[in-house]
Amino acid sequence: MSLTIVVHPGYVGQGVGSALMQGLLGWASERPGLVKIELRVREPNASARRLYERFGFTEEGRQAKHVRLPNGRLIDDICMAWFAPT
């Protein structure tokens, strides 16, 4: 399963991302056998990385120069994961 979650720039910093993460992890806690949730976040998006870390996600690796921005600049995607409590 794959899911994309994005907060509109006009709503950043208003708790929307936290509410989405709470909902996601609440859903995950009701899924027996679910072991891991993986995500990717663009390297310059420090606020999103902090959000994910607050919810227990840890960095697993990077995909170097994986995303080309409209200005042509290449940036890394950071791979993060959350592991269900055992």
Supply the DSSP string of 21-59, one letter for each residue.
HHHHHHHHHTSTT--EEEEEEETT-HHHHHHHHHTT-EE
For residue range 44-81, list pLDDT tens digits in order.
Answer: 999 999 999 999 999 999 999 999 999 999 999 999 99
**pLDDT of 29:** 93
CATH code for residues 12-83:
3.40.630.30
What DSSP element (H or E) covers 16? Answer: helix 16-29
Mean pLDDT of 6-27: 95
Does residue 77 sit in helix, strand or coil? strand
The average confidence (pLDDT) of the chain is 94
Mean pLDDT of 17-46: 95
DSSP for residue 70: T
pLDDT at 3 over 90: no
pLDDT at 39 over 90: yes
The two three-digit tokens of residue 31, written as one number: 């899924």
